[in-house]
């Protein structure tokens, strides 16, 4: 499994919005315009509220991350639990599976050589015949360890929820994800990812 943070936006804007609730930022249009002393006060409030639920930490929903994640199908089926307000675009097996021979690197853990041979034979026969039944057989035969890359978009609030629910999960892939989240959490919120 591999996970990389591609980009993230909105930390300053979410703090600016939080400051509105307390009258700290009403006259400012950008986080950079807020005086340093006010920024410190807002960060203290943010740290206190970020750990709360009931909508008090709703400002975390405004900080958005894009991740490149290459993970096995069995992990993606669990990650889909967190679909609320997330977006993912993926390498479509529908369009890409028949383009090349599969190798052991296409799987989270090695599969048997006879099974890999079987999958590649289906690909070869499909390329020769374009028989849709062969394509369906291949899709049906792909093991859960088959790796798929997606660009995963989610908010800091969702990352925190995932982190809390999965940091001690028995699947090692969740530990990789939680480590990535903790490394890329904004410094203001690092304490939440410990």
Residue 90 is predicted with a pLDDT of 77
Strand partners, 23: none
Residue 85 is predicted with a pLDDT of 65
Q: Which residue has the higher pLDDT, 56 or 62?
A: 62
Mean pLDDT of the chain: 91
| pLDDT, tens digit (0-9, with 9 covering 90-100), for 6-23 | 999 999 999 999 999 889
> Are 15 and 43 within 8 A, CB to CB?
yes
Could you give the angle at which helices 113-129 and 132-141 cross, rounded to 10 degrees? Answer: 160
Contacts 24+ apart (CB under 8 A), 124-127: 126/98, 127/98
- Residue 34's SS3 state is coil
| pLDDT, tens digit (0-9, with 9 covering 90-100), for 70-124 | 999 999 999 988 876 667 777 777 677 888 999 999 999 999 999 999 999 999 9
Nearest to 65, CA basis, from 181, 189, 187: 181
| pLDDT, tens digit (0-9, with 9 covering 90-100), for 129-151 | 999 999 999 999 999 999 999 99
Show Cβ contacts of residue 7 under 8 Å, excluding neighbours closer than 6 positions. Answer: 65, 66
Show Cβ contacts of residue 167 under 8 Å, excluding neighbours closer than 6 positions. Answer: 174, 175, 178
């Amino acid at each position: 499994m591999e996970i990389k943070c591609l980009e993230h936006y909105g930390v300053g804007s979410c703090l600016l919005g939080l400051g509105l609730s307390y009258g700290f930022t009403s006259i400012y249009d950008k986080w950079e315009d807020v005086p340093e002393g006010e920024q410190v006060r807002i960060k203290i409030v943010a740290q206190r509220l970020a750990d709360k639920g009931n909508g008090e930490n709703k400002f975390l929903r405004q900080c958005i991350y894009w991740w490149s994640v290459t993970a096995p199908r069995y992990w993606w089926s669990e990650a889909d639990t967190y679909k609320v307000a997330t977006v993912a675009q993926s390498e479509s097996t529908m369009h890409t599976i028949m383009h090349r021979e599969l190798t052991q690197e296409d799987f989270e853990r090695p599969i048997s050589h006879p099974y890999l041979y079987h999958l590649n034979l289906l690909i070869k026969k499909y390329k020769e015949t374009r028989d849709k039944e062969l394509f369906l057989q291949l899709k049906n035969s792909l093991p859960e360890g088959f790796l798929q890359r997606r660009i995963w978009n989610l908010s800091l609030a969702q990352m925190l929820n995932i982190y809390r629910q999965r940091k001690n999960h028995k699947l090692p892939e969740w530990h990789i994800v939680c480590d990535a989240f903790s490394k890329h959490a904004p410094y203001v919120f690092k304490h939440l990812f410990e």
